[in-house]
Amino acid sequence: MDHPPKWLQGVAYYNGCLYVTSDDGDADQNKPDHMYRIDMSADRSSGTVTLERTFDDVIRQGEIEGLSFDRERDQFLLLYNRGARIVLGMPKGFYDGYTEEIHEVYVYDIKKHP
């Protein structure tokens, strides 16, 4: 991949492309995580990485997790966790106002690509 995303959390294949979620934001700084689309070369030996979505619309920044596609509705589903303070991949208590981690699924329409 050119410009590979870091801290991958989920991967799924849809309509000829790979999609990956990346825990590349910073919940402490209210910086969002992202999803990238990887368009594969004709021989499938390399891929071009494109930022597909910035998740700045979640209720509160936290930890991006996996994704899945609903092919019948042309939507993708994103699992997002918030509330737990994660340091170097390990839970270290909770943010103010939380006593447990909250797990949410967000549903988005899929962008059409040529």
> pLDDT of 19-57, one tens digit each?
999 999 999 999 999 999 999 878 878 888 999 999 999
Q: Which tokens in the block code for residue 77?
A: 């589903």
Tell me the CA distances in angstroms from 108 to 3, 27, 45, 67, one per residue in order. 25, 21, 29, 11
pLDDT beyond 80 at 65: yes
pLDDT beyond 70 at 12: yes
DSSP-based three-state secondary structure for 28: helix
